[in-house]
Amino acid sequence: MKKGADMKIAGKAACIFVLLTITKLTRITGNRMAAQAGHSAVMTCPHRTRATMVTWKISPKIGGPCTLGFRADQNLVNRTNCSDSVKSEFKPEQFYALEIQQVGMADEGNYSCELVNQEGNFHEMYQLTVLVPPRLSLYCENHSNPVCEAAAGRPAAEISWVPENNSTTEIDSHDNGTVTVLSRFTAHSTNRKTVTCKVYHATLNETMSTYCSSPQSDLILYITIALGFLIIITFMAVIYYFKLHGCRLCHKTKPPDTSLTHSLEDDTTEVEPYTTYVQKENTIYNSVSDLTGGQNLPCGLSTAK
């Protein structure tokens, strides 16, 4: 019996200890909250019933603190130094929610709700950060180098490239808490390609592609094309020249040989009949001379005689 009672007491103590550590942890860490600029943000008080008093304490990063108090017994709301954009209807069914209608940079900071009821004091803490989506652009610097820009974002955007390559990043922090990130793609060897820039941000993920033609590579291309044309034209000119002059040369070099021989042959054939004719005549003459009692002498000689 005594042992069981001891166990019960030990269990209760452990429970209380666990509860205490949990409340302590929630108090220390709070809730991280992110709201996009221009949008609304809603924070609630601890979910406890029959609150007698509820107090919102706001500690902005810039400027002085403000408090919004509510007393249930008198149904009274008390505001000190809070801007009009911060509102609460202090309704139990809404957990005494605090609403910021249009979140601005000035609203960034710590928000805590303290709720008091018969059971004690309870706290809820929020750390509000304001997100600003960056303005994205992708353009060609000097008509050749791709530049990806995420302007005036909060927090700073992350930029990566496809194909993955060396890039230089410039980060510019502005007075209003926004950051401009500028990434230059620095692969000059592969710049005759479409490149893709990827922007990662809490408010958006964007992929953009562009194609930048570099004047250098264009020049090389034009020169290559021009050279190619020149080579083709020269080749064609040479072929044409050989076709035209090559035939004349053929007629002049080879045919002259044949024509010469031809003419020689012609000459001989022209001459031969004559000689044969002459010879024939001579033979006739010779036969005549034979008849006249002469010898078979060469015709020339006989005629010379």
Can residue 81 be called a binding residue for ligand NAG (CB under 6 A)?
A: yes
Nearest-approach distance from CB 81 to ligand NAG, in angstroms: 4
Closest CB to ligand NAG among residues 64, 120: 64
Residue 296 neighbours by CB distance under 10 Å: 11
Q: Which stretch binds ligand NAG (CB under 6 A): 60-68, 89-97, 133-141, 233-241?
A: 60-68
- The structure tokens 């034209």 sit at 233
Closest CB to ligand NAG among residues 109, 146: 109
Can residue 65 be called a binding residue for ligand NAG (CB under 6 A)?
A: yes
Name 109's Cβ contacts closer than 8 Å, sequence gap at least 6: 58, 59, 60, 61, 62, 127, 128
Question: Per-residue contact track with ligand NAG, 95 to 114, x per CB under 6 A?
Answer: --------------xx----
Residue 168 burial by CB count (10 A; 0-12/13-18/19+): exposed, middle or buried? exposed
Closest CB to ligand NAG among residues 123, 144: 123
Pairwise CA distance, residues 275 & 268, whole Å: 9
Facing residues of 43 across strands? 98
Nearest-approach distance from CB 203 to ligand NAG, in angstroms: 6
Residue nearest to ligand NAG (CB): 64
Pairwise CA distance, residues 181 & 134, whole Å: 9
Name 135's Cβ contacts closer than 8 Å, sequence gap at least 6: 149, 150, 151, 152, 153
Determine the straight-line distance between the first and last CA of the chain, rounded to whole angstroms.
183
Nearest-approach distance from CB 66 to ligand NAG, in angstroms: 8
Nearest-approach distance from CB 204 to ligand NAG, in angstroms: 5
Nearest-approach distance from CB 10 to ligand NAG, in angstroms: 34
Can residue 78 be called a binding residue for ligand NAG (CB under 6 A)?
A: no
Nearest-approach distance from CB 90 to ligand NAG, in angstroms: 21
Contact 115, 51 (CB under 8 A): yes
Pairwise CA distance, residues 159 & 169, whole Å: 9
Nearest-approach distance from CB 5 to ligand NAG, in angstroms: 41
**What part of residues 171-210 is at the interface with ligand NAG (CB under 6 A)?**
200, 204-205
Closest CB to ligand NAG among residues 127, 214: 127
Residue 303 burial by CB count (10 A; 0-12/13-18/19+): exposed, middle or buried? middle
Can residue 36 be called a binding residue for ligand NAG (CB under 6 A)?
A: no
Can residue 168 be called a binding residue for ligand NAG (CB under 6 A)?
A: no
CA nearest neighbour of 114 among 75, 69, 78: 69
- Residues in touch with ligand NAG (CB under 6 A): 59, 61, 64-65, 80-81, 109-110, 127, 200, 204-205
